[in-house]
Structure 1
Amino acid sequence: MEIGVVYPQIELSGDPHAVRAIGLATEKLGYDYLLMFDHVAGAVRQNRTQPLFGPYSEKDPFHDPLVSFGFLAGITERIGFATGVLVLPQRQTLLVARQATDVDLYSGGRLRLGVAAGWNYVEYQALGQDFATRGKRLDEQIELLRKLWRGDALKFDGGFDQVDNAALNPAPKRMIPIWCGGGSEPAYRRAARLGDGFVFSGPLDKILTGWGQLQSFLEERGRSGEPFGAEYILSEGASVEDALEVLHRWQDAGGTHFAVRTMGHGFTSPEQHIDFLSDFRARSA
């Protein structure tokens, strides 16, 4: 099992020095990877005809994960980088292909691209994309990313993207893994069709049910014998003892990745988050 760290960006006031501190600590403490969430902008929830039900608002700071990983690739040597998850349908596919390729090249093949449809329609509007068709677009984007990463000139005439005999150059030296995220049956079915793995978050008992459902979809598609990653992101506020128990339950369920989340404890400095990570790592070794 690979054990990673969730970057606690909403609790660090957008401090750029914290990215360096926690990135370096993740590697020094022996973790396998650093995971970052993605939001381009936070939206005010009040006074909206169409409610926003997601967990974040304009008061929660976010750094761009691919930009951050590009920086961290230059100051680390071993740890992997994972988006958990990138809201792909609100972004230009070709641009994401270019950015992800460069992160993977700069890091020596250490990127894992987690993608999902997202929930914030305000971000979609501000980025000029259609919120209503995000699921269909995501399916097409995963296909197009893999075609672009082959590096050959291609013609692609999709429902959302068109590429007229153009190539991504330089291309990555490998096919970057694409993991799916979400919490619904369509997300699980998408992963069974198109994904290299799945990023789960939420109450573990519910997630174990979802993981079983996803495994049945993999079996339906004849993929049960293929390598397929399953990551669980620890819920906020879990103590070290609770985190260790969840880790063991997830491992017993066949999980392959486990991301430690230090948010929800009231920490106010990178050092406090690092102390928690140090304690967990020492006790999980």
Structure 2
Amino acid sequence: MKFWQCLAMLDMDELPTLAKHAEDLGFEGITLGEHLITFAEQYEHYDYSKNSQIRWYPETHWPEPWVQIGALSQVTTTLKFLNTLYVLPLRDPCHAAKLISTAANLCNGRLILGAGIGWQKSEFELVNQNFHNRGKRCDEMLEVMKKLWTGDSVTYDGDYYQFPALQMSPALKHELPICIGGFSEAALKRAARNDGWVGAQHEMDDIEKLIPALRHFREQAGLPWDSFDIALGLYDNSEANLERCRELGVTMLYREAFCDENGMASTMTLDEKLRDMEHFAKAHIQR
């Protein structure tokens, strides 16, 4: 199990310094989030916090993920990148494939695609995308993108996407693992068919239920468990919890974003964030 640092919900000017610091401290990678916009009033239930409310402010930064990953790849050499999560059905598959493959090639094999289907209906309505068929469209998008990334002449004839023979260049230079986020049975099955699952921040009781379900769906898909990645965060990073995560098969344990006592996006200074990362690294990585 390797340790990662979440760098979502931060001032984008701080990201290069924090990414390089994470690499120097021995973190395997960083996770980066994304949202198109923040509505003045939240209508939808948010599944990734204890109180079902979003954890950021209207002024919280959400840079375009592939631009920031491409930029951060140029100030690091070994650090890996995982986006948590890129909402595929908000986009056109060809445009998404181009953005992702460009960032992946700039990273030289250091990118893991974290994909989800989204939770905010109002965000889908804003960009004129169907919210209700987003899961099925996501499945087709993954098929389309994998074809396009070969760099060969390809066709596709699905329920939602169709195109004649065409080619996208350049091809992917390196393997691009695809990890899927979400907690529904459909999301867990989608993850099991791909390369891994991305969780949120969890209590151990949740993990004890989710990981056996993932293992079951992976076996149903006829795919090996030992090549399956699991990325998640913990509310309590006790040694007992960390060891149990290792036993269950967690491969990437990420520290959650810098947050205040209420779980909201932090107002810590850059220096405080750097010191906080150093403290964790000394306790868990540099031993």
Q: In the alignment, is residue 257 of structure 1 matched against residue 256 of structure 2?
A: no
| Paired residue secondary structure (1:259) | strand
Mapping of 1:172-211 within 5 angstroms?
172-193=172-193, 195-201=194-200, 202-211=202-211
| Paired residue secondary structure (1:248) | helix
* C-alpha contact (below 8 Å) 1:200/1:207 kept by paired residues: no
TM-score (normalised: structure 1): 0.89
Q: Distance in 1 between matches of 2:267 and 2:246?
A: 28
Mapping of 1:1-285 within 5 angstroms?
1-9=1-9, 12=10, 15-45=11-41, 51-54=43-46, 55-56=53-54, 59=58, 60-193=60-193, 195-201=194-200, 202-225=202-225, 227-235=227-235, 242=237, 244-265=239-260, 266-285=266-285
Give the % identical residues. Answer: 27
Residues 196-205 or 243-252, more deviating? 243-252
| Paired residue secondary structure (2:171) | coil
Q: Distance in 2 between matches of 1:8 and 1:274?
A: 15
Which amino acid letter does the alignment assign opposite residue 109 of structure 2?
G
Relative to structure 1, the CA distance from residue 69 to residue 243 in structure 2 (aligned partners, 3 Å threshold; closer, same or farther) is farther
| Paired residue secondary structure (2:227) | coil
Q: Distance in 2 between matches of 1:102 and 1:246?
A: 37
Q: Distance in 2 between matches of 1:245 and 1:23?
A: 28
| Paired residue secondary structure (1:82) | strand
Q: Distance in 2 between matches of 1:88 and 1:247?
A: 31
Unaligned runs of 5+ in 2: 47-52, 261-265
Relative to structure 1, the CA distance from residue 118 to residue 243 in structure 2 (aligned partners, 3 Å threshold; closer, same or farther) is farther
Residues 214-223 or 158-167, more deviating? 158-167
- What are the Cα deviations for residues 140-187 of structure 1, in whole angstroms up to 9, with x where unaligned? 111111111111111112222222211110011133111000011111
* C-alpha contact (below 8 Å) 2:153/2:166 kept by paired residues: yes
Give 1:68 deviation, angstroms: 0.6
Give 1:243 deviation, angstroms: 5.1
Give 1:244 deviation, angstroms: 4.5
Size of the aligned set, in residue pairs, is: 271
Relative to structure 1, the CA distance from residue 243 to residue 259 in structure 2 (aligned partners, 3 Å threshold; closer, same or farther) is farther
Which amino acid letter does the alignment assign opposite residue 167 of structure 2?
A
Q: CA RMSD in A?
A: 1.8
| Paired residue secondary structure (1:68) | helix
Q: Distance in 1 between matches of 2:147 and 2:165?
A: 12
Q: Distance in 1 between matches of 2:163 and 2:57?
A: 35
Unaligned runs of 5+ in 1: none
Relative to structure 1, the CA distance from residue 143 to residue 178 in structure 2 (aligned partners, 3 Å threshold; closer, same or farther) is same
| Paired residue secondary structure (2:31) | strand
| Paired residue secondary structure (1:112) | strand
* C-alpha contact (below 8 Å) 1:52/1:120 kept by paired residues: yes
* C-alpha contact (below 8 Å) 1:149/1:175 kept by paired residues: no
Which amino acid letter does the alignment assign opposite residue 33 of structure 1?
G
Q: Distance in 2 between matches of 1:243 and 1:78?
A: 27
| Paired residue secondary structure (1:76) | coil
Q: Distance in 2 between matches of 1:262 and 1:221?
A: 33
Give 1:267 deviation, angstroms: 4.4
| Paired residue secondary structure (2:192) | helix
* C-alpha contact (below 8 Å) 2:8/2:31 kept by paired residues: no
Give 1:8 deviation, angstroms: 3.7
* C-alpha contact (below 8 Å) 1:45/1:52 kept by paired residues: no
